[in-house]
Structure 1
Amino acid sequence: MLRLTEIKLPLHHQDEMAELKAIILAKLAITEGDLHHFTVFKRGIDARKKSDIQLIYTLDLDVANEQQLLQQFAKDPHVSPSPDTRYKFVAQAPATLTERPVVVGLGPCGLFAGLLLAQMGFKPIILERGKAVRERTKDTFGFWRGQELNTESNVQYGEGGAGTFSDGKLYSQIKDPKHYGRKVLTEFVTAGAPEEIMYVSKPHIGTFKLVSMVEKMRANIIALGGEIRFSSRVDHIHIEDKQLTGITLNNGERLNCRHLVLAVGHSARDTFQMLYDAGVYIEAKPFSVGFRIEHEQSMIDSCRWGPNAGNPILGAADYKLVHHCKNGRTVYSFCMCPGGTVVAAASETGGVVTNGMSQYSRHERNANSAIVVGIHPEQDYPGHPLAGIELQRKLEQAAFHLGGADYHAPAQLIGDFLKGSSSADLGAVQPSYTPGIKLTDLSALLPDYATAAIREAIPAFEKQIRGFAKADGLLTAVETRTSSPICIKRGADLQSLNVKGLYPAGEGAGYAGGILSAAIDGIRVAEALALQMLQQP
């Protein structure tokens, strides 16, 4: 196979595949008979000139005289052999193997760790403290409609993990030399995701599609001999001579195991405390806090796409913004959700947490993202490794009371926030957060350095997206769950530094940030665990 990169088509083309074929034949100077087949590996967008947006392709070709063409174009950086991106299993469990590995958590990391172990024949036992995805969805939507918060079944806890109630973004900036990302996308397509996620530059799925996909992947794991237990929280971990020997569940059951993937997500605060008390080595790590910001999606589309706004290929526009402040802080946009909603993401009583979510269509009126400030343990919460958790909790509880102590979120117009005055009336941007918002003054909610940094950053972002600092845009508080505030340190073998058999993994352990990177980490950890169980190097 031959790979061509940087192949361009104008946004307004007539027949995509026919025009790409003509470009291939012309570039390689071959006949139609020499081109047996080609596929689109990746399609990106170059929108630097809004009046002339280009589509940028990476193509894989099956051609005659492949080696001759490679020699002919040896100096062309855009012609090369296609890499082999097929996934290859590193191990296969023998029929005589009696031990079963345990996976804790059924978010993207635990889901893929469990799937890989099942596909390799290890028949994993997967524990999830929350409920199955459809029951969990009922609890979550019920909370958004004003019902009681279920602290074991919500945006954070349950089958599918926090990513189920998100934009379903499937892109990452991590290095992936073994093409694990292709394995993840392939499994998602097999489970019902749109095939376009295999080639568009910023693929996403959306909540409703994710629900059915997760169910199909669960069924696959069970069909391969895996076992999945819901409402099964790990309350204690047993360690003897620095070796994991078992766990105790919330129903009092002792489950013996010597190999466990810990994929609990970034909000499992009670689990982090339990691990720390048991002596597992944990360090504090940086994370970020701030607000959700909402604008009308039409404004973002116009700024990003110009006269091409509304084109179905482009869809709803996103953005990524960073500003380095005078006080040494960095403010950046995070988890941008085009055509989405701000959602209630609390997992503890007496706290308000915001997040963002989109459906596959991204057709809601507003765009939203987190506008957050980076904070650091040595500077902002020194001392105890779990101090970052307490900082998060303090901010969430303050937001709860500022919002009226009924899970309404405190909110403020952008213009009023920049001036330091309380908001009384909404403007053009209507809030999407449910159960609802309470207009107030957010100035004192965050630490002073964070408030000052965001006030400096929003006008700076206006220079990149006209209207970003528009006075009637909306800020909703508080965003605290950007990433895990801890790191459960592991060695080169991916096991805990001081507990053999314990494999910290994914976002909660500090090794991922988002669906794709968490799933990839689950694959890496599953491979390491499988090889260790078989005592292979």
Structure 2
Amino acid sequence: MRLSPELVASQNHSVDMLRITELRLPLDHAEGAVRAAIVSRLGLQDTDLHAFTVFKRSHDARKKTAIVLIYTVDCELAAEALQVDVLQRFAADPHVRPTPDTGYHFVGHAPVDFHAEGRLRPLVVGFGPCGIFAALILAQMGLRPIVLERGKEVRQRTKDTWGLWRQGVLNPESNVQFGEGGAGTFSDGKLWSQISDPRHLTRKVLTEFVKAGAPEEILYVAKPHIGTFRLVGMVEKMRADIEALGGEIRFEQHVSDVRIEGPEGARHIRGVTLASGEQIRADHVVLALGHSARDTFTMLHERGVFMEAKPFSIGYRIEHPQGVIDRARFGPHAGNPILGAADYKLVHHASNGRAVYSFCMCPGGTVVAATSEPNRVVTNGMSQYSRNERNANAGIVVGITPQDYRQDGKADGPVSPLDGMAFQRLWESRAYELGEGGYMAPGALVGDFIKRQRSSALGSVEPSYKPGVHLTDLAQKGRGSLPDYCLDAIREALPAFERQIKGFSMPDAVLTGVETRTSSPLRITRGRDFQSLNVQGLYPAGEGAGYAGGIMSAGVDGIEVAEALGAAVLGVPPVDARKASKASQL
């Protein structure tokens, strides 16, 4: 098959650049090897290659003694006619194609005098990754959003969070869950996702992060991450960008009520009430709450906003020496700076029908106290950009369904959307008791957990959780730290994971409980127009609404919700729903 120049030009992309995928080179390849591989792959002279950029770099470590790097590169040849000739020669090769357009295109922009007409400004409730990108896109469209964040600005919030970790003092409104930057600020800063992304919105997220100070390598490494310390400065820069475009960010503004008017079937949001008593009128509100805004979920449920129970997962954090994971994954190449600290992704289907899997793996990181409510213990994981802490940690969690956590004792029928929160609270309170107070977390050595016996002394792995770990019997059936079916499934999974990663079930590895907030326990369901099913003008978004899971997917969801809101306000056609990300249509 040959493509004519006219046919090539008619594609929905320019032939200015060619993209080559699956360009494989040894881990220790010489400088200049990528360029030589491109020239060889295309059958050209070196002078024919004008320039190239690396779009993505990943690695294949299945053969540990011969790890290879896999490149996707965009190439500019010396002449367009030469590029057309290459496309014709490689017409049947899926790995040589015109470079797609990955730039971001706005659905519209407000005219200069748009706000002179006295229009109400859109509100964004929550300033985590979803709220940040929703507000940024609205601001870039000229719609001057008002952001209401219940927590504090990121640096003060960081001080409050350290107060819990170092002194055992919890501020329920300023912690790992609440405040500028959201829960993602205290995480590994992972910037990759498995969502379908036909419009390359993840590229928009990455580009904005680089503009805000993230390292440029996040644009091309396969699994980019940033880390907490860098995220703090980036969040501040993005806040400044939103404000420079006419947006307004208000901290310590807890939305305590919503104003909804109209008869059933034609209800519309008309504003919000703050805990201070202040009322703010609005016809368009983005709910970017995060997965721990339990009081707000309860209020919305009482106001009749449609929501439904959804599955989530619960379990523990597990810690190993990072070197154990590096050697298991990379063999003799462990420690290679290109590879960095190794991660893993594990799944086991237990004999009791439960799925056990690793969650939010943090290489070279720490386990952190992530509660937002008094007298409850919640764990999570985080890493800095360097990922150079002694331990690796990950959630080892078990999938549960609404039928597992329903509170009314019935065997069938609808489950209350709020039942999942009650279930989370039950086990978080139990963890606080097992930790014997002070936000100490209950812990156990893996060897003792498998044997169902109490741990009395640490081995070679020092747990990183602060304020500290109280060793106990996590696996005691009927009185344990999780439901019995979770305990059985995890005890079965740990030796199974050993078969994939040598050392995973080492007796001295540490389990710390409990990990309950893997995702929102409910979904504030929306339609294809991104609005609530029964309240016009209300746009549920991000993790709290049940439409994202991590920084990247939350950011993408924020973009898509902002586009839908902007299209409605500006009276322009919305983005074709068929081109929306898969996450947005869950």
The TM-score bracket by the shorter chain reads: over 0.9
Structure 2 CA distance for aligned equivalents of residues 430 and 384 of structure 1: 41
Give 2:94's match in structure 1, choosing from 77, 81, 84: 77
Following the alignment from structure 2 to structure 1, what is the Cα–Cα distance between the partners of residues 39 and 188? Answer: 38
1:147, distance to aligned residue in structure 2 (A) = 4.0
Contact residue 107 and residue 572 of structure 2 kept, 8 A: no
By how many angstroms is 1:99 displaced? 2.3
How far off is 1:379 after superposition? 4.0
Separation in 2 of the partners of 1:240 and 1:67? 59
Counterparts of 1:315 and 1:26, CA distance in 2? 29
Q: Which residue of the partner structure matches residue 114 of structure 2?
A: 96
CA distance in 1, matches of 2:446, 2:565: 49
Structure 1 match to 2:516: 480
Structure-to-structure mapping, 1:148-227, within 5 angstroms: 148-227=169-248
**Residue 134 of structure 2, aligned match among 106, 109, 113:** 113
**Partner residue in 1 for 2:537:** 501
Deviations 1:129-179 (A, max 9, x none): 000000000000111001410000000000000000000000000000000
C-alpha root-mean-square deviation of aligned residues, in Å? Answer: 0.8
Correspondence list, 1:375-390, <5 A: 375-381=400-406, 383-390=415-422
Listed one character per residue, the Cα deviations across residues 346-373 of structure 1 (whole Å, up to 9, x for unaligned) are 1000100000010000000000000000
User: C-alpha distance in 1, partners of 2:403/2:534?
Assistant: 23
> Which amino acid in the other structure matches residue 289 of structure 1?
I
Gaps of 5+ in 1: none
**Secondary structure of the corresponding residue to residue 372 of structure 1:** strand
C-alpha deviations, 1:177-229, integer Å up to 9, x for none?
00000000000000000000000000000000000000000000000000000
**Contact 2:168-2:439 at 8 Å conserved across structures:** no
3-state SS, counterpart of residue 114 of structure 2: coil
Please give the per-residue CA displacement for 1:311-348, whole angstroms capped at 9, x wherever unaligned: 00000000000000111100000000000000000100
Gaps of 5+ in 2: 1-16, 408-414, 574-586
Name which of 307, 332, 346 aligns with 1:321. 346
Q: Which moved more, 1:249-258 or 1:375-384?
A: 375-384
Q: Partners of 1:453 and 1:380 in 2: how far apart?
A: 17
Cα distance in 1, alignment partners of residues 99 and 395 from structure 2: 38
> Which of 64, 71, 85 matches 1:68?
85
CA contact (8 A) 2:168 2:438 kept: no
Q: How high is the sequence identity, in percent, across the aligned residues? A: 64
Q: CA–CA distance in 1 between the matches of 2:169 and 2:445?
A: 28
1:410 equivalent in structure 2 = 442
Q: Which amino acid aligns with 1:433?
A: Y
Alpha-carbon distance between aligned partners in 1 of 2:404 and 2:248, rounded to the nearest angstrom: 44
Could you state the TM-score of these two structures normalised by the residue count of structure 2?
0.91
1:20 to partner: Cα distance? 0.9
> Counterpart amino acid of 2:241?
N
Task: State the distance in 2 between where 1:77 and 1:357 align.
Answer: 38
| 2:37 equivalent among 18, 23, 28 | 23
* Cα deviation code 1:272-291 (max 9, x no counterpart): 00000000001000000000
Code of the residue aligned with 1:378 in structure 2: it is: Q
Counterpart of 1:414, as a letter, is V
Partner of 1:455: 491
| 1:458-515 Cα distance to aligned partner (Å, 9 max, x none) | 0100000011111110000000000000000000100000000000000000000000
- Which string of whole-angstrom CA distances, capped at 9 and with x for unpartnered residues, describes residues 421-458 of structure 1? 00000000001000001000112111110000000100
Alpha-carbon distance between aligned partners in 1 of 2:386 and 2:474, rounded to the nearest angstrom: 32
Moved more, 429-438 or 87-96: 87-96
Equivalent in 254, 258, 277 of residue 233 of structure 1: 254
- How far does the alpha carbon of each residue in 1:252-286 deviate from its partner, in whole angstroms, 9 at most, with x for none? 10000000110010000000000000000010000
CA contact (8 A) 2:120 2:281 kept: no
Alignment partner of 1:9 out of 13, 25, 36: 25
- 1:505-524 equivalences under 5 Å are 505-524=541-560
Separation (CA, whole Å) in 2 of partners of 1:510 and 1:401 = 30
Is 1:293 paired with 2:314? no
Rounded to whole Å, the distance in 2 between the matches of 1:217 and 1:36 is 35
Tell me, what secondary structure is at the counterpart of 1:145? helix
Q: SS at 1:519's partner residue?
A: helix
Q: How many residue pairs are counted as aligned between the two chains?
A: 535
Hey, which bits of structure 1, 4+ residues long, moved more than 6 A?
Answer: none
Distance (whole Å) between structure 2 residues aligned to residue 315 and residue 44 of structure 1: 12
